[in-house]
Amino acid sequence: MQVTQAYRFALDLTPTQQRAVLCHAGAARVAYNWALARVKAVMDQRAAERTYGIADADVTPAFGWSLPALRKAWNTAKHEVAPWWAQCSKEAYNTGLDALARGLKNWTDSRSGRRAGRPVGFPRFKSRRRSTPSVRFTTGTLRVEPDRKHVVLPRLGRLKLHESARKLARRLEAGTARILSATVRRDGGRWHVAFCVEVERAVRTPARPNSTVGVDVGIRHLAVLSTGALVPNPRHLDGAARRMRRLARRLSRRAGPDRRADRRASNRWGRAQAALGRAHSRVANLRRDGLHKLTTRLTREYATVVTEDLNVAGMLRNRRLARHIADAGFAQLRRQLQYKSEWTGGRLVVADRWYPSSKTCSGCGAVKAKLPLSERTYTCTTCGLVLDRDLNAARNLAALAHEATDARSGRESQNGRGADRKTCLGGLVAVKRQPGTASAGQTGTVPPQGGTSTRMLTKAS
């Protein structure tokens, strides 16, 4: 099985090497800002000419937004814009132009409706102080040295690693991996190199091929498994909050940059900002490490993992829980489960967003109309089951993995307990179906607006 994955290593750069990497990152920023200025100037000129009544055939020609067009324009003007262009690798300028091409494409796709998610704004200029230094190499010498403690990159030469690159080196020596690109980036005060690698992975099977586990994520516990196991929430951000508040107060007492007064930041402000950035980076690294260990353990042990399709963006609007939800990393948990399930030969089943996993009784299947968030114990009024709320939800999620025949439509479904139905009051059911289809035993039709449309249908007696 061929997959594309990244190997990320910390670097130990000398002062001379740091200046060289910063020079390449600055060259990428210069190319990005120059191309963006050209694009904006041409757009404004064309808009102004149209207001004067000039025909479309006579307006200023459009400036190409694709990467080849931007690269061609840069090569024509680089002798005047950046006379020092020969000091840096061509990949540095290609990094900035590629970032702008991607940003413009995302903006146009978002405006035309071809891109899902939140609207994407027009690209903005990059600041030398606020932007993250980064440069990407796609051609030239990209290799790991035989000692596995050094890497070689174009124009930057031989760079020392803070840790051994033996995992990547073994695959390269065995011929099961091929380096596609290398990105050098400063994150949390440290420089890292990330290799994008095409890897030939062996076909694997989970340790328990016929097992299924439901995973209910939350704040009190990071994950509750249908087996009854509880994964504690480490709350890394809460643990570092006291130190981060102290560092933030120290930063506020320093003389920071002020554009209105034309004042540059003091050296003490820069050191305080770097210390605060390292504290945030440490929290992010701890969170990433914990999520990787959890998802790796689940996908290697269980053949089928069932989780929920949570509206994380909507949950973050709750000002009381937003910080705790963001610290847990729900979206990262599902993303890692998705690709690691493919690597280990398992599968990931995602329950519908409207499936009432917490309101449904895992014993008899009865659904409660309401279940407040403060009620942590589920008590079924039909069969008398008393169970922890999260464990009950995890068991319901595990039940979805078993294929069952939908009695309403007669089709095979993985939603054995009706995961495509939304709990409603007054005997009403909202059914999520493909447009133009109707279910047996129900009255009403679904308008063909799209596969995610729902409509209240009345049950037939």
Using alpha carbons, list the distances in angstroms from residue 58 to 25, 54, 196, 268: 39, 7, 45, 56
66 in the Ramachandran plot: left (φ > 0), alpha (ψ -120 to 50) or beta? beta
Judge contact between 206 and 344, C-beta under 8 A. Answer: yes
**Which contacts of 108-114 are long-range, i.e. CB under 8 A and separated by 24 or more positions?**
108/65
Instruction: Kindly state the tokens that stand for 124.
Output: 């903005």
308 catalytically annotated: yes
DSSP strand pairing (150-153 vs 143-144):
antiparallel
- Residue 115 CA to residue 110 CA, distance in Å, equals 5
If we measure between CA atoms, which residue out of 226, 402, 208, 232 comes closest to residue 300? 208
Inter-helix orientation angle 330-343/267-301, to 10° = 50
Active-site hit among 98, 327, 390, 420: 390
Give me the catalytic one of 216, 327, 352, 420.
216
Strand 347-351 versus strand 302-308 pairing type? parallel
Catalytic-residue membership of 289: no
The catalytic position among 308, 327, 352, 420 is 308
Catalytic residue flag (residue 390)? yes
CB 31 within 8 A of CB 219: no
Q: Which value, to the nearest 10 degrees, does the dihedral of the CA atoms of residues 367, 371, 377, 382 take?
A: -30
Residues belonging to the active site: 216, 308, 390
